[in-house]
Structure 1
């Protein structure tokens, strides 16, 4: 608790000196609009599936970045996607942050910020418009949240970051307990190699059988390593664990999940590449039970080919299959044509 207060105080001190730190050189404020759309057509080969095929727009992002002063930038992004409440297209506030580059080694962001749990993994995977990275896909973390973070460049090879966020993600407000998620990561980059270690923790009150409430801490742990052997070939693997939670924002005592993801890409030229990915997700067995608590345990395979005809446009033909471990749940088997265009 004391560490979190010191971290917040340090960030406040940084921001307090922001105006003083600005260089006196001339600066012209400027802004830029940006957007990104994920579109797909898929054919479902799963046994007994009623909806055989469909066109979809999974995501549409609309944003604006404005350079207020030298080293100071404001950004806002709207995420338009499906709402579980009923509307197929609802706009969410995905990012609304103020970013201050305090020095060449320190950068601070606050507001609705992008999180750091799977940023490097998602970038290395490279096909967000086809499938989310492991942590995002299976509920180990959120891509954005309300809070504050600081990035530190420790050396040419090492960097780190630390953050304090609400912990509920960008679609929900702070819970009634008002307890934040605290975490950090360490990243190493050298030529074509990248490695990362990440950890976070958040606590919540959980009702017990006797009617009392106990504080239970849920925690996420991630290890990632990737290597670009050349401009043609890259390979990566990651291990992830979530303890005391059925989701990053849903504390559940003694409910644990873990999983592995391996992915690779071979690039023929600037326009054509082939890719593949294997995910494995599992959970623990609760005391007194014979089956693991998570019915969605299993393995997933994604493989396909991508074509990029022009800059900012990508199209991919791919297969996506998920083999559930629990009996009675059919294996999902789908063919996709995915498209991403951005400006």
Structure 2
């Protein structure tokens, strides 16, 4: 009887300690998530094999755990998963590590160590505001990855804190392991012209084996307010000796706007133009592009806020192509979608 009582006391003590640990985690950290996906239909496509395809998919399921370790240090662990977007693979949704970093910060500056977001399109994505609808232009066209493993320093300088900087030294291999001796150096400088207008210049050098380095530059101007967001960018990427035909030059321009029509409804329009065929176009998830001709992407939609953190976005994506080197024109891509986006 005494032995049973002792076992019960130990179990009660262990359970109490577990409960306290769980409470402490809850008090010190936060768990949040975001989910978005679509019902899509492909009535027209440059690839006839995709015509008529339709279905449901998740383009993002994300869980984030943030924890403050002290007044200066914090950490983040983020898991990300999605349905396959290549129209071929039939597999279950598998999570991967999207962020895993330690952060130090004071009033104006911050240092990140680990897997974290890159400086490439952070400001652009803030002004665009509809990642659930589509990636930013450089992200969509594969000009870089949204994450890298390395060290990042960012902050604001000047008396009025109008100048922002974002510098990162990374592996240049996204959230995967380093496989070569090269590194990727990224730097973005932005200036807050007015309360609503921001401009940014960005550049990076991604060192690759066999002198196949990749160089990227981007200029951006954005206007942001409660009722209206407008942005315009131009980007150039040089890929040194990366294909059998030698060097690749890619030029990309984009303009976008979203305007609040009512408290619950926002209209969205975006136009991207690739001045050169993208060699990796066919491998773009969820929206493969022809790699034989220049392209113009048009995105139009309406964001309907059902609740504070729940959005329904009827939208349509269309890609119009120019002539190929052989003088032919790929068929237009057309994809109507009904997108659901919610945060928790």
Establish whether TM, by shorter chain, passes 0.5.
yes
Q: Which residue of 1 aligns with 2:223?
A: 227
Q: Is the 8 A contact 2:277 2:292 kept in 1?
A: no
Residue 110 to residue 251, structure 1, CA distance change in 2 (3 Å)? farther
SS at match of 1:139: coil
Residue 79 to residue 126, structure 1, CA distance change in 2 (3 Å)? same
Q: Which residue of 2 aligns with 1:8?
A: none
Structure with greater Cα Rg: 2
**Residues 215-224 or 127-136, more deviating:** 215-224
**Of 25, 29, 32, which residue of structure 1 is paired with 2:30?**
32
What is the CA RMSD across the aligned residues, in angstroms? 2.5
- 1:186 Cα deviation after fit: 0.4
**Of 231, 237, 241, which residue of structure 2 is paired with 1:242?**
237
**Counterparts in 2 of 1:1-343, with a 5 A limit?**
30-46=28-44, 48=48, 49-82=50-83, 87-101=91-105, 103-155=106-158, 156-170=161-175, 172-175=176-179, 177-189=180-192, 190-206=194-210, 215-228=211-224, 230-244=225-239, 253-283=246-276, 294-295=291-292, 297-325=294-322, 326=324, 327=328, 329-343=330-344
CA distance in 2, matches of 1:96, 1:252: 38
Q: Is the 8 A contact 2:207 2:213 kept in 1?
A: yes
- 1:282 Cα deviation after fit: 2.5
Q: Is the 8 A contact 1:278 1:299 kept in 2?
A: yes
Residue 252 to residue 203, structure 1, CA distance change in 2 (3 Å)? farther
Runs of at least 5 residues in structure 1 that lack an aligned partner in the other structure: 1-27, 207-214, 287-292
SS at match of 1:309: strand
Q: Is the 8 A contact 1:162 1:184 kept in 2?
A: yes
Runs of at least 5 residues in structure 2 that lack an aligned partner in the other structure: 1-25, 280-289
- 1:29 Cα deviation after fit: 6.6
Moved over 3 A (4+): 47-52, 82-86, 250-253
Residue 251 to residue 237, structure 1, CA distance change in 2 (3 Å)? farther
Q: Is the 8 A contact 2:212 2:241 kept in 1?
A: no
1 or 2, which has the higher helix percentage? 2
Residue 192 to residue 138, structure 1, CA distance change in 2 (3 Å)? same
- 1:88 Cα deviation after fit: 4.3
CA distance in 2, matches of 1:277, 1:218: 27
Residue 313 to residue 251, structure 1, CA distance change in 2 (3 Å)? farther
What do residues 221-242 of structure 1 show as CA deviations (whole Å, max 9, x unaligned)? 11110113x5322211011111
TM-score by length of 1: 0.80
Q: Is the 8 A contact 2:43 2:52 kept in 1?
A: no
- 1:269 Cα deviation after fit: 2.5
SS at match of 2:275: strand
